[in-house]
Amino acid sequence: MPKQLPITTYGMEILRIKTKPVTKIDSKIINLVEDMFYTMDRSAGIGLAAPQINSGVSIAVIDISALEEYKKEKPLVLINPSIIDSNGEHEREEGCLSIPDIRAEVIRSKEIFLRYYDFDLKEVDIELKGFMARVAQHEIDHLNGKLFIDYLSEEKKKEIKRLLAKIKKGKVETEYPLHIHSRSKSDL
């Protein structure tokens, strides 16, 4: 039975560390993926990367089918993903379960060519466009220690500085459980 895991929040060191590649698929990895989908769903998210549930492996899950216009999209499990190429630019508002209450416009590629591994550790190359490409880029950033707020202008960063400080101190309320942490030296 999958379980809901607490979400790591801004200021936790694991969100700034590059993940380690998955080298074998075992019951631990399969259970982790099941817990990630369950946690994402229960948190009303559409994407979740392993660092967001305090794991340092290179896995992200995506399911945008809860959104009416994307209900035909199939969920994706990305193991050791990397973006091979990208085209175009598009600006759209983003948010993040690890940075509650903050949303901002972020410029990302319109389409990406992605390589990842499936549960047999077989290489898969796919092209993603539009919103699915955006979500994949956001989650892959998490696997590389990068957050959507890193793309913001200095002016916008100043605007959200106080909110980020509150999140870092654990002074934020969400509908989902958070991994409350002690202050770290990184960020801000």
Which residue numbers are catalytic? 139
- CA quadruple 50, 66, 43, 2: dihedral positive or negative? negative
Cα(first)–Cα(last) distance of the chain, in Å?
38
CB-based burial label for 44 (10 Å; 0-12, 13-18, 19+):
exposed
Structure tokens that stand for 132 in this block = 């699915």
3-class secondary-structure state, position 81: strand
